[in-house]
Structure 1
Amino acid sequence: MDAKVPPYMTHYKLYAPPFFNFEQNYFYFLIAELYANIGAEFAATTAVVMDFLGVFFFSMGAGLLEELAARIAEIETELKEKITIENRLKFHNTEKEHEDRTVKELKKCILIHSKIKKFLIAAQNLVSPIIFIQVVISTAVICMTCYTISMFSPADGASVFFRQITYMMPMGLQIFIPCYFGNEIMIAAEKFSMDIFHTKWYNGCKKFRTAFNTLLIHASQPMIMISGVLFKVTLENFVVISQLTYKFYAVMQNMNANQGLQSMKVEE
């Protein structure tokens, strides 16, 4: 079949307005084919990268906090060794060197914690608009899909019903995955704060206790990722969105049921 004979078919299924009939116009067909290939190969890749950008930064931040907590635990082990050294009546110079080493390591941990917070703030500022737009669009799509589902029963159109349900699943994942990893940061920060609070930091020297108080103050501040202005990227908000979506679906079902009853009364 000659490729320049209408109707022209693109490699991807496209929807176009009536005035842009690319199936009959070869020039429009070239534009549509170019748009389809660019959209599929570049725009789709960019969209996937943007979806996972926040997940990548959030998971990295949670991992860094867990690694820092393990480093603090090693310092606590050093403190226990200090007590053992004192009980064995080691030389004063050895104890002084041990104290300086623990204080130096603690100051490194304070600096690392400060850099992790700066990293998470920068990541939040970068991906906050992306996550907010993604959540708004996905929520709107889920609501409209629920409305479409409420228009008919599964028995009337099982294939359409199944297609709508499977279409909602990735939309839900686009909200759930960022919320899950944002929640992981909050949990990791809370666990880090509790772990260092229960550390036997009071066994250290005066310099160590002073530096540790600084770390306690910084760690006591919660780390909650925020998208947009008010939306907190946590599992709690994902549950709230799911509840609102279900309520919208229930309202649509009731409206359709009432319209069905009214139509039956009119026919009677």
Structure 2
Amino acid sequence: MEVVMVIEEEEKNNEDALAEKIKDEDVLARSFIFILGILLSAEIANVLTNWGDMSKLTAVVTLLMTNCTHASKVAVLLRRQARIQTLLDTADSAAFSRYDKEYEDLLINYTWKGIFHHAIYQSFGGIAVFCWGFTPIADFVAGRSRQLPMEGWYPYNTTATPAFEITAAHQGIAIIIACFHNVAMDTLMTGLITVACCQLAILERNIISIDNKASIRGMQNDKPLERNTLAYQLLKRCAMHSNMIFHFISEIQNIFGTVIFFQFLSNCMIICLIAFNVSQINVYIPAVLIGMLTYMCCMTYQIFIFCWHGNELHLHSMRLVTAAYSNNWFSNTERFKRSLQIMMIRAHRPLTLCAGRIMLLSLDTFMQIMRMSYSIFTVLQGSAA
């Protein structure tokens, strides 16, 4: 009886702790939406008040497009949270060899690749945000008129004290949160693609080593099975693993494909508009110039990491075909050969990710987007001249 009471008390404490955690997360999410919502509203109002003035619109619309895309990604992640959690659980499961020492070198290698891309991407964003936040301080030191870190329309005089200090602080906090959160969401998507690439590399190694593993396990068994039977069992395990990987990649496509497409369209416009704004600057303030250039690099790298990871996924899937030839298939049974042939036929259809099922995530797509941005930039330059 006492044991039952102790168990019930522990369950009640766990439920209370979970409810308290959910409540804290809900408060944090509401605060996050409130802070960014004010900034987004001020930017939208600023665009509406300057409608028709192309010189001002090109200056204010870039950050608005970034924040609108950010808001759409937040909406998608909240709406598809359960499916994303399922992907994360799969990535952390034993089925994906998460804790297998045999593949430790591959897991470490792909983990460091993900960290490398995140560090570069976050560095560009962090420098841009720091420069924007430093703008009011630089203006004060240089004796220039007060200017907020970012353009926005507010229903009060933003140059008066303490309205200027409060608004500048709010913009600084909001843009820092938006920067880190945006980078986190993007690297979540590319991180899942990295997991898929890592699993394809593990699958490739397993297919190549089927014959060796079958021979070793056959000798270690007290009642050794025939080597060909063990090889067939290992091949079945590889087939099950490949099906899990294919489903994993299909879910990534279904969840994030549309968001990535709109991200590409937005960034294409942002890159050319920033380049145009830089070319139109008459007085070069170092903090402003560095902030704009690093912001453009950040937007460019944002496109690049998606295209690079999509390209890597394609290359990893194509290597499965040659992996099938690399094991000792010719000395196995007909059943093994037929099953391996089915896997090879499936591997001949390369795994690809698409942005909105329109643009392939590849390095060729990245170059096409860069050329498109430059074309739009030259059109804007011609119209301004």
Same fold (TM over 0.5): yes
Q: Pick one of 322, 328, 341 that aligns with 1:213.
A: 341
Offset of 1:163 from its aligned partner? 4.5
Distance 1:127 1:20, change over 3 A: farther
Distance 1:181 1:31, change over 3 A: same
The CA distance in 2 between the partners of 1:120 and 1:134, in whole Å, is 19
Asked if 1:73 corresponds to 2:208, the answer is yes
Q: Pick one of 187, 197, 205 that aligns with 1:52.
A: 187
The CA distance in 1 between the partners of 2:274 and 2:149, in whole Å, is 21
Equivalent residue number for residue 241 of structure 2: 112
The CA distance in 2 between the partners of 1:44 and 1:20, in whole Å, is 26
Equivalent residue number for residue 227 of structure 1: 355
Per-residue CA deviation, residues 10-36 of structure 1 (Å, 9 max, x unaligned), is: xx845442524466698x889958965
TM-score by length of 2: 0.52
Per-residue CA deviation, residues 47-106 of structure 1 (Å, 9 max, x unaligned), is: 222111111011111111001111111114357x59xx9xxxxxxx96x52111111110
Distance 1:41 1:176, change over 3 A: closer
Asked if 1:194 corresponds to 2:322, the answer is yes
Whether contact under 8 Å (1:201, 1:209) holds in the other structure is: yes
Distance 1:252 1:32, change over 3 A: closer
Asked if 1:139 corresponds to 2:268, the answer is yes
Give me the CA root mean square deviation.
3.3
Question: Does the residue aligned with 1:222 lie in a helix, a strand or coil?
Answer: coil
Moved over 6 A (4+): 28-31
Distance 1:183 1:210, change over 3 A: same
Per-residue CA deviation, residues 188-241 of structure 1 (Å, 9 max, x unaligned), is: 001122221454423211221122122112212110111213021111100111
Equivalent residue number for residue 155 of structure 2: 19
Distance 1:250 1:130, change over 3 A: same
Corresponding pairs, count: 232
The CA distance in 2 between the partners of 1:143 and 1:190, in whole Å, is 35
State the AA in 2 paired with 1:106: L
State the AA in 1 paired with 2:272: C
Whether contact under 8 Å (1:197, 1:216) holds in the other structure is: no
Equivalent residue number for residue 313 of structure 2: 185
Distance 1:207 1:152, change over 3 A: same
Whether contact under 8 Å (1:54, 1:131) holds in the other structure is: no
Q: State which structure, 1 or 2, has the greater radius of gyration over its C-alpha atoms.
A: 1
The CA distance in 2 between the partners of 1:18 and 1:42, in whole Å, is 21
Distance 1:134 1:251, change over 3 A: same
Per-residue CA deviation, residues 121-176 of structure 1 (Å, 9 max, x unaligned), is: 112222223322222222111011122234368xx747465543332111101100
The CA distance in 2 between the partners of 1:151 and 1:31, in whole Å, is 30
Unaligned stretches of 5+ residues in structure 2: 1-147
Q: Pick one of 255, 259, 269 that aligns with 1:126.
A: 255
Equivalent residue number for residue 203 of structure 1: 331
Structure number with the higher helix fraction is: 2
Whether contact under 8 Å (1:150, 1:252) holds in the other structure is: no
